[in-house]
Amino acid sequence: MGWTLMIHGGAGSMRRGQLAEADDAAGRAGLSAALEAGAAILRDGGSALDAVEAAVKVLEDDPAFNAGRGSVFTWDGRIECDAAIMDGRDRNAGAVAGVTATRHPVSLAREVMANSAHVLLSAAGADAFSKEHGLEQADQAWFAIPERRRQLDEMKARPEGAFDSGMKYG
């Protein structure tokens, strides 16, 4: 039996011909790094669960992608992250929504799965759970990048576009 890892990463514009060379390169570099992080685990006989967490953590740290560092802004100018993880062996699962201060939200989701009686924690409660369980914290400045702020300003300048499908999906 072999192993396989697949990943996806939302990074903004996806129109062929409109994607800047630098953005294209940044996206590809991020994907490559994430693949390698997960593949290294699987290659050594590690678990699928560890591999998906490792791959997603790399993408969360990469400002090219809309997750973790590089997340988009809410209407109120905050960054709120969501994440989930699920283990196919026993359908154990964990998830968090609206968390604001955990560097790797996917690891917080795994902590919910592994060390709580619950599946989904949200907002301030999930932030508190994160601190109590010793997850690495990060302030809002860590997550924020100028391009996402510009996108928020653009969105607020045309409030009829309350749903950003035009911006994200062309």
Partner 1 sequence: TVGAVAVDEAGHVAAATSTGGLTAKRWGRIGDSPLIGAGTYADDRAAAISCTGSGEHFIRLGLAHELCARLRLCGDELSIVEQDLIAELGRIGGKGGFIAVTPEGDARWAFNTPGMYRGRVSHDLEAQIAIF
- Answer yes or no: are the C-beta atoms of 88 and 58 closer than 8 Å: no
Nearest approach, Cβ of residue 134 and partner 1 (Å): 19
Q: Please tell me whether residue 14 binds partner 1 under the rule CB under 8 A.
A: yes
Residues of span 97-156 touching partner 1 by CB under 8 A? 97-98, 105-106, 109, 119-120, 122-123, 143, 148, 151-152, 155-156
| Half-sphere exposure at residue 26, Cβ-oriented, CA atoms within 13 angstroms | 16
| Residue 169 interacts with partner 1 (CB under 8 A): yes or no | yes
Q: How many residues of this chain bind partner 1 (CB under 8 A)?
A: 88
* Of residues 47-76, those binding partner 1 (CB under 8 A): 47-49, 51-53, 55-56, 59-60, 65-68, 70-76
Residue 30 token pair: 């991020």
Which residue type, as a one-letter code, is found at position 61?
D
Question: Could you tell me which residues are beta bridge partners of residue 94?
Answer: 85
CB contact at 8 A, 81 and 67 = yes
CB of 118 to partner 1, least distance (A): 12
- Binding-site member from 21, 38, 129, 160 for partner 1 (CB under 8 A): 38
Gap between the Cα atoms of 146 and 100, Å rounded: 18
Query: Considering the complex, what minimum distance in angstroms separates the CB of residue 132 from partner 1?
Result: 19
- State the nearest-atom distance from the C-beta of 102 to partner 1, in Å: 11
Work out which of 11, 101, 111, 130 binds partner 1, going by CB under 8 A: 11
Helix H or strand E encompassing 141: helix 140-143
Rounded to 10°, the helix 21-43/48-61 angle is 150
